[in-house]
Structure 1
Amino acid sequence: MAAKPQKIKRSYQLKHLILTGILGLLLGGGLMFGLVRHQLQVANDAYRSLGKVATVYQTLYYNYYKKVPSSKLEQGAIDGMIESLDDQFTEYLNKAETESLNNTIDSSFSGIGAQVQKAGEYIKISSAITGTPAQKAGLKTDDILLKVNGKSVKGQALDKVVTKIRGKIGTKVTVTIKRGDQVFNKTLTRAKIPIHTVNAKLVKKDGHKVGYLEVTTFSTNTTKEFKTAIKKLRKQGVSAFVVDMRNNPGGLMDQALSMSSMFLKNGQKIMRVKDRSGKVETYTAGKKFDKGFKVTEPTVVLVNGNSASAAEIFSAALNESGHIKLIGAKTYGKGTVQTTQEFKNGTELKLTIAKWLTANGTWIHKKGIEPDIKADYPEVAYSAFIDTTKIYKEGQVSKQVKTLQMFLKYLGYFNGKANGYYGQDTNAAVQKFQSENGLDVNGQATKATVTKIEEKVSQKLGDTDPAYDEALKTVVQE
């Protein structure tokens, strides 16, 4: 007796649409999903369509040989319907995930304002945001976080530690910090922390001043931040721009449209949206989006395999309509639009409602966008970390050993072929590395050895950026 939902009205109110690529972590990435704040309507015959589901639910609830919580059956039904769609971007978000989404979209979250990163078995503070509790408490770059509220965070995942640090505004959290040989506690009061999505700097290249703009996500204030950064760089005398969309997972569609419009002539196509009925709506550059603010300086855009959705809209628009070069690696390939329905218990249903196409009408979903100039980090940069719960030694064969060999080769300790076999040459390479890095020399890839190898690889990768170098070289020649 009941059931079919009414169609969602496809008016596409831009300030609500979100295009999402890859999941990330706040203070290190950020969760990016699609969002439209309107209610799904259900017809009076919902009972008829869902009658069988209701019957199965009641039968299991009252007759299964042991008691089953109604919440478990409800969740199972939801998960089953979503799984049947075979769409990774349609999902049911629990309270924590919903809150994280909303924090990301609103460009803020509640916490202490410390940007953190993994450092061996512990977490290291990479910076304390100006004006936040962390900065006011005197936390500094390279401080090591040992405990949160008296409990050790040794060996814990970054996202788990971040969750412990964050909390409701006004509540307190005590962190135990190690700075050099000194260990001390700091009790901080959590506050609303703004998320800055645009990082800018002036770079000098061959006598030219170039403005570098890294866009990490497309959140509520991204266009405003982007415009402010451009104005500031112009005052410093820049004559060209490099816009870095690498590792940008997407975000609000209206922000992508506004920023794209800045680089295009009025009337040029930015993107198209195609709904399930086949109706296509085309978006073009103009004052509606850019408010008359234009960027006419030579520009190139950096992309990679983690540039997704809204980042791909921006990149494709500039490339196809503005003839601006893309540099880096092929993008992620996420060509759908999501919306969410909110529930009273604080959860949300995120669902795909349309396709988006590039200015030329191309659907890039699962295909990505090929850059005009390919330039990227070496393969080792995309290798998974090695499982440090195991010890690797001569005679073993595994994918983990192959990764170890790739790391050692990149660092200059291994000259053989990375084939996954832990032979004498791998043993010798490990011993040489151990000897030069103050470790026990036994030829075995222990946890301490692997951790140090990964640390050295990260450091070396941080000292080079082939795509960035190519972008600077290219833009000054434009």
Structure 2
Amino acid sequence: MPEQPKQTATNTDESVKPPVKPKKGKRRVGLWTYILSVIAALVIGIGGTYWVLGRAVTRQINSMQQTNSAMQKIQSVYATISDNYYEPVNSNKLANGAINGMVSSLGDKFSEYMDKSETESLNDTIDSSFSGIGAQVQKAGSYIQIISPIADTPAKKAGLKPKDVIKKVNGKSIAGKTLTQAVNLMRGKVGTSVSLEIERAGKTFTVNLKRAKIPVTTVNYKLVGGDKKIGYITVSTFSTNTAKEFKTALKALDKKGAKKLVIDMRGNPGGLMTAALKMASMFLKNGKTIMQVQPRGAQAEKYVAGKKYDGGFKETKPTTVLIDGGSASAAEIFSAALHQSANVKLVGSQSYGKGTVQTVTSFKDKTEMKITVAKWLTPDGTWINKKGLTPDIKATEPSYASLTVISKPDDLKAGKVNDDVKTFQEYLKAMGYFKDDVNGYFGSTTTAAVKAYQKHANIQVTGNVDKNTLTKLETELATKISDNDKAYDAALKLMSE
């Protein structure tokens, strides 16, 4: 008997999955049954029906013939290689290669076949219990692109940003590697180091990261605002325990006296669709649409708020949601549901735009195949794929928030001309110490700016950029970026009105 794939509710941090509904068993219908059906239709002569049925049967027969022909070709290639290749060939390697080829031919960056180690990596991601650099990623051409770095992880602390392209890992190009192969290269034991070559806005730089345990907690909260009556909740991803953590946060803020809520979905790459359904349902009246899922050739199915998802827990405080280009997938499902079905305003910048649903098929050898099976639509039926959600109030980060990381601090020396010096000048300019044009030349003006900063930072004034000077400057710049978070300020202002 051929192995029967098992459909699971598991999916990746980049995918969403509708709850699996049991299907009634279907009687297997043979080719002769179809042919006899056509003959019966012709004999009975029901006006026009036989023609429609006949076309359907013709399509079914053609499909069966094409499938048989394709399988025969695959079997022929397999047998030819297995019997005639000049060296012994591993049968599993051939089979996996064939599967990989078929999935890759779809041209869908969210569909892939995963070997045992890649499957384990996927499951770790879903459970938020892995060690690595802490960045959600996707395929982008031949390389890997960061969707969003996770808060308080090596990737976030190193300044990696959404849309950064990872070109090399430990000096080796990852061109052509699958998403999970690249992820496995970046993962490793806690405390070990990994080097990434990053491309951002046409510039390339290298960053060295020390792997760490990625935080299991996906929801954080606190009271903010002048009167401390606004509950601020950040959701980093949608994993197994996120909905439970989210409910705990809402209850805790209520006890602390929160009167309004700001929910920050910025930089959230998504995850489990079931978590998004549970969380969105908490804010919607029963019966209101959370989302729609449309498989190929079928009507869209609506998922509506109710006790099935929220367990009877409802949140009615005035709320706003923050989004940006790193908000994707389940984060967009949640945001769109609140926006369209609960009249919640969105603040920030255009979201990522991932409007597809993936399912995972598990095999007995502990490998899995993830493929896109449907579109998901917002409550009003809009498909946001590659478009994203548009905020009601647009507010973006300051321009210096997108500055690249300095890859070689040793290049920051008087007389040098390079991109790292140019980036450093931009750091100084953002902090108000460099007044001239940014040109990448470490001359007298740059030296003077360094001395001015060192005096301000209360460190030895030398005009040379040592590790202490660079670290303090980077820390102050990060604080300034946070202090000039226009989207956050706009959300607080909205909730204070």
* Structure 1 segment 399-478 matched on structure 2, within 5 A: 403-418=423-438, 421-423=439-441, 428-429=445-446, 432-433=449-450, 436-437=453-454, 454-477=474-497
Task: Assess, with a 3 A threshold, how the Cα gap between structure 1 residues 459 and 232 changes in structure 2: closer, same or farther.
Answer: closer
Tell me if 1:215 matches 2:235: yes
Aligned partners of 1:314 and 1:406: how far apart in 2?
Answer: 37
Structure 2: segments with no counterpart, 5+ residues: 31-63, 133-151, 159-187, 197-206
Name the CA distance, whole Å, in 1 between partners of 2:467 and 2:93.
39
Structure 2 partner of 1:295: 315
Residue in 2 that maps onto 1:16: 9
| Aligned match of 1:280 | 300
How far apart are 1:232 and its partner, in Å? 1.8
Structure 2 CA distance for aligned equivalents of residues 159 and 94 of structure 1: 28
Question: Which of 105, 108, 123 matches 1:84?
Answer: 105
1:20–1:310 CA contact under 8 A, matched in 2: no
Unaligned runs of 5+ in 1: 10-14, 22-31, 122-147, 167-192
Aligned length: 393
Residue 335 of structure 1 contacts residue 363 of structure 1 at CA under 8 Å; is this kept in 2?
yes
User: Between Structure 1 and Structure 2, whose CA radius of gyration is higher?
Assistant: 2
- 1:49 is aligned to 70
Identify the residue that residue 356 of structure 2 maps to in structure 1: 336
- 1:119 shift after superposition: 10
Q: 1:356: Cα distance to partner? A: 0.3
1:351 CA drift (Å): 0.8
Verify the 8 A CA contact 2:5 2:363 in the aligned structure 1: no
Q: Supply the AA of the counterpart residue of 1:82.
A: V
Distance 1:383 1:37, change over 3 A: farther
1:82-118: per-residue Cα shift (whole Å, max 9, x none)? 322121111123334322332343454599xxx7537
**Structure whose residues are more often helix by fraction:** 2
Find the counterpart in structure 1 of residue 126 from structure 2. Answer: 105
**Alignment counterpart, residue 366 of structure 2, candidates 343, 346, 360:** 346
2: distance between equivalents of 1:271 and 1:452? 46
Q: Would you say the 8 A contact 1:332–1:367 is kept in 2?
A: yes
CA contact (8 A) 2:341 2:379 kept: yes
The percentage of counterpart residues that share the same residue type is 46
Q: Deviations over 1:39-91 (max 9, x none)?
A: 9x9x9987753232333334344444566655554444333323221211111
Report the Cα distance in structure 2 between the residues aligned to 1:74 and 1:390, rounded to whole angstroms.
Answer: 49
Deviation of the 1:242 alpha carbon: 0.8
Q: Please, what TM-score do these two structures have when normalized by structure 1?
A: 0.68
| 8 Å CA contact retained: 1:17, 1:253 | no
The 5-angstrom pairing of residues 12-411 of structure 1 reads: 16=9, 18=11, 20-21=13-14, 48-64=69-85, 69-108=90-129, 117=154, 153=192, 161-162=210-211, 195-203=216-224, 205-207=225-227, 209-388=229-408, 391=411, 396=417, 403-411=423-431
> Cα gap change, 1:228/1:476 in structure 2, threshold over 3 Å: closer, same or farther?
same
| Residues 217 and 251 in structure 1, CA contact (< 8 A), matched pair in contact too | yes
Decide which moves more: 274-283 or 429-438: 429-438
Q: Summarize the Cα distance change of 1:68–1:196 in structure 2 as closer, same or farther, 3 Å threshold.
A: same
Shift of 1:300: 0.6
CA shift, 1:303, in A, is: 0.9
CA RMSD of aligned residues (A): 4.3
Within 2, Cα distance between the matches of 1:245 and 1:214? 6
TM-score by length of 2: 0.66
Name the amino acid aligned to 2:221: A
Residue type at the aligned position of 1:252: L
CA distance in 1, matches of 2:467, 2:86: 47
